[in-house]
Amino acid sequence: MVAARTRRILVRAESKAPLRAVEFRHLRRPTAGDAGRIAVQLVASFPEYKLAEYFAVRGDMFRDCDHVTVAVADDRQRTVGIIAARWREVRKAPFLHLEMNLVAHEWQRTPLFFRMWKLMLQELSLDDEYAFPEIVAIKTYNPMVYDIIERVTTWAGGRFYPQIDGAQETEMRVRASDVASVLCPGLFFEPDLGVIRGAGIPRDFYPSLPQTGRPRVQAYFEQTVRAGDRLLCVMQLQRAVAVPSLSRHFRIRSDDNERQSVDPRPPGTAVLADVV
């Protein structure tokens, strides 16, 4: 078991709010105790989502995760963000499944997301089992997630699925179908659209469809993804290109783990939120 890495910095929750201390913890393969505490804190911290019902179905899901980054504020009294990821395999090839990514509403346009992802990327580069992922998958009902994952793929010089402005690439369409069969066996997947029907747990996890500032993305979700469905997003990366590119965009230095420093969010970086 690898000990949790902890960092404590000051972050402003909203543009006019005072600076508040935020502690970031990264756990590799959480213990049963850690997993239980994370679930309890999330239910209390995100009352707008049906997390109690979600965990009733998913059980002790964090025990199956290989990487969990948690952001806590208010002297550890409230969880304000989480990223949970798990290595899976498709046709004997590893891929990283982003199982959960939540950011509290008042923190959604702050550096919080960037800093959580920076820590996650640093830890992934240290992973001794699979190294940095060449395939990353996430299921979402949030148009903002599609927007940001698409941008990150572009930064990494990779290929992205699904394209909402035209036909899907044949190879990516096949890759996505394989990934969907692993993540949601038995559910109906529409590879031309990228939608897994009935993949939401529970169906009404979200009170309403989240909003994004990109009209074409918002329109695609409104027309294609029903409540209870999830859009499958897949990033296809090349390690040799993605690692230096993402290190540059996320300002990750080779000595970050020793210095435990966190840089400001780069201009133009939006906030990824609400992924289940």
What confidence score (pLDDT) does residue 73 get?
84
In this prediction, residue 222 carries a pLDDT of: 96
- What's residue 160's pLDDT? 97
Mean pLDDT within 244-273: 52
The pLDDT value recorded for residue 59 is 84
- Range ranked top by mean pLDDT from 40-54, 78-92, 172-186: 172-186
Q: Above pLDDT 90, what percent of the chain?
A: 51
The answer to which of 77-91, 211-225, 261-275 has the lowest mean pLDDT is: 261-275
Helices vs strands, H then E, count in the chain: 8, 10
Query: Which structural domains are found in the chain, ordered by start?
Result: 5-259 (3.40.630.30)
Q: Which of these ranges, 45-49, 103-107, 153-157, has the smallest mean pLDDT?
A: 103-107
- Does the structure show a pLDDT above 60 at 1? no
More confident position, 66 or 267: 66
pLDDT for 113 equals 79
Tokens standing for residue 238: 């090349």
Q: Supply φ then ψ for residue 199, to 5 degrees.
A: -85, -10
Rounded Cα–Cα distance for residues 139 and 205 (Å)? 13
Spatial neighbors of 166 by CB under 8 A, at least 6 apart, are none
pLDDT for 178 equals: 97
